[in-house]
Amino acid sequence: MRIWAAKRTVNKIIGDVVISFDIRTKAEVDDWNPIIGELAEALDLARPVLLKKHIRDLDQFSHTAFLPSDFMEPIDFDKLTVEIFPEKDEKKN
């Protein structure tokens, strides 16, 4: 599974990262904390607070957004978006 995280200010991307994880689908994720932590670390950010709303958004819509209030430290952007890329079906040509 590949996940894209992007820092945004005034709807412009000011930094992003795509990381592949050894999990095939979002249904297999038991705990989103290590995944969000790895994405934040790759962007040199403190880990945001992961709320039930974020988990629900990832499970239902394959994306979520973290606002400045979701971080314990001050941040220099408007939001951090996280989006799960759909897996390509390897059987199709």
Domain boundaries, the chain: 2-85
Question: CA-CA distance, 4 to 13, in Å (whole number)?
Answer: 12
Question: CA-CA distance, 1 to 19, in Å (whole number)?
Answer: 8
- For residue 7, give both structure tokens: 């820092």
Convert the pLDDT of each residue in 70-85 to its tens digit: 999 999 999 999 999 9
Task: Measure Cα distances from 4 to 13, 15, 40, 85 in Å.
Answer: 12, 11, 11, 7
Task: Give the per-residue pLDDT at 89.
Answer: 57
Output DSSP code: residue 26.
G
Task: Give the per-residue pLDDT at 93.
Answer: 46
pTM: 0.87
